[in-house]
Every structure is written in structure tokens, then in C-alpha cells.
Amino acid sequence: MNLLFANDRRGNIPLALRRDPRTLGALRPLMGEARADVAIVGGGYTGLSAALHLARAGYSVALLEAHRVGFGASGRNGGQLGSGQRLEVDALERMAGPETARRLWDLAEEAKALTLDLARESGVAFAPGIAHAFRSTREFDHAKAHIDLLARRYGYDRIEPLEREAFRAILPSEAYLAGELDMGAGHLHPLNLAIGMAGLARDAGARIHEGSAVTRIDHGRTAGAASTLFTDQGRLIADHVILAANGYLDRLEPKVAARVMPINNYIVATEPLGARAAEVLTRDIAVHDTKFVVNYWRLSPDKRLIFGGGETITYRFPPISRPKCASPCWRSIHCSPM
């Protein structure tokens, strides 16, 4: 099974989180033979960032994307740009020590700053504010201690704890008893960010070939020898190869692919809610909760509820099912293997 085409039709941009996502223009597949200093496989955030920064550094760069840029998880996600790592700094301190925890925090802040710079440069709007919704007093007490730790030892004072009434003024739900609001985090349109980065990379001189699935890579047999990447319609010869395909590596790098567990997460979007949007959120922020398989949501600019959650551990998407709701307002949007 070719993982690239297990769930999606060749060359199609998946259903986006709004009806008018940006486009990079017509498909430009790799045709015939080409040469580059660096070949990049995969047109998600990793591949596009590599292409942009290498091109700006003066390298000849060619990027090969099987579908369209942002096709995978980079263009299909909740659009939340958060602070820190998957584990909070107190857990990282216990696990790896304060020095390593600080380096990991700084790394995450640098990544957030880079993303914001790329969004600004490519004209993608960013809305500050991510709320963390707590279901128990224990969770909220831990959050307050963590907020204090970040302010004292990490110099990060952008998070505010919100008691029940203050939190419900933002998120009018009976499901959560308190929360916190991080104004150093926020949300943006994920597919537009990928397409914007692709435009910046192309303007810097990188060649972007969409509709160019790599079928085979022949690496040079001697040190310093070039590698050849084959597609259905051409081949690319390069001195260096960056594999940025994440869950889609498959046969291109079996040793890595054998250690990748496919996890699909799912998003639905309602029709525009109009005045009812205030029943979901009263501010233009994003939210996630504390479940192990986290729920996350925000409102789109045209007031759709974009809600994500649930997981399956398989490369195949399950059949699309209609969630139960008061009216037939949902449309399903699948994310991709991570």
C-alpha cells in the first residue's frame, strides 16, 4: 500500500478549514532531469522551512511534493501555536534536570518566534491567545503552580489563571471549572501558513515541484557522491537529500518508517454559527482541554466552530460518519498520519 494515496486522491488539496484557502498556482511536476545542491522530499512545514532557509543561504534547492504543499499534517491541523513542549517544564525538570528543561523551553520559544516571523512575512493572520480548560481543582492548582514557576525561573509571564466565573465569561461551558489563558500563544490558518512559506521559498529561488512523488532514491556509493531521486516523470540529482515526509516515509527510508506509529486525529467544522458563536467562545482565542487524547477548538473568521479530537492508530481513515447534533451542520475534515 502506498501511504501517500491510501486516503487521498492524487494532487487534490484536502478540504480546508475555510472555503478560500490560498493556492500556490498550477501544479509544476518535475519533468526530465534536474540538478540541485539539496533535494528535499516533502512539502510540509519541515521541508518548506528547509527549502526557504537553504535558498536564502545561497544553495540550489529543489523540493519534491507528492500532492500539493501542506497536503499532510502541516495543512490539516488545529492551527494552534502553543508554548513549551508536550511535557510541562516541571515534569521535564524532574525527568532531565533544570538545565535541559530550560534548553527545551528556549528551543520551543525560538520555534514559536520563527513561526510568527514566517506568518508575518507571508501575510498570514495570527490571533493571540490559547486557553487551557481544566476539569478538576487538582488540575487548576497544578496550573497555578506551573504559571508561577514559568514566571520565576523562565521569565515567561504571559499566562493568566482564570477562576470559574472569569473562565466561563470566555468559554461558556459547564464542562470546565477553571482555566488559564496564554497570550504568548495563539492560532492561525495552517494551510495558508504552508502555502505562504512555499511562496517565500520560491521567491528565494527554491524550485518547488508538486505532483512529484518520489518512487526511489539511489544514494551515491562513495563519500561525497551525489544521490538520484526518481519520480514518475523525472529524476533529480543532488549532493544532499533531506527527507521531510514524516509519517509518509514508507519505503523511502524503511528503517525510520518501521519505527513510526501512524496516529490520525480528526476535525469537524460547522456551518457559520452567526450569533450562536458566542455560546462557544466570546473571544478570538483557541482552546484545548486536559484529556490524554486532547479536544481542541476555535472559531474561524466566518464563525464556524472548528473542533478536533479522537484518534485512530492506523494508516487508513475510517468511513466518514456524521456526528449527532441538533441539525445536519457538520462536514468532516480528516487530518493525516503524524
- Between CA 251 and CA 174 the distance in angstroms is 48
Residue 324 has a pLDDT of 40
> Which residue type does 138 have?
R
Q: How many CB atoms lie within 10 A of CB 265?
A: 21
Please state, for a pLDDT cut of 90, what percent of the chain lies above it: 71
pLDDT in tens, 271-300: 999 999 999 999 999 999 999 899 999 999
Residue 18 has a pLDDT of 46
Q: Tell me, rounded to whole angstroms, the distance of Cα 311 from its chain centroid.
A: 16
The segment with the largest mean pLDDT, out of 20-24, 142-146, 264-268, 333-337, is 142-146
- Between CA 219 and CA 133 the distance in angstroms is 49
Residue 333 has a pLDDT of 39
User: In sequence order, which residues have a C-beta less than 8 Å from that of residue 156 and are 6 or more positions away?
Assistant: 83, 105, 109, 150, 184
Residue 87 has pLDDT above 50, yes or no: yes
Which residue ranges form the domains of the chain, and what is each CATH number?
3-75+191-257 (3.50.50.60), 80-188+262-334 (3.30.9.10)
pTM above 0.75, yes or no: yes
C-alpha cell at 248: 509518509
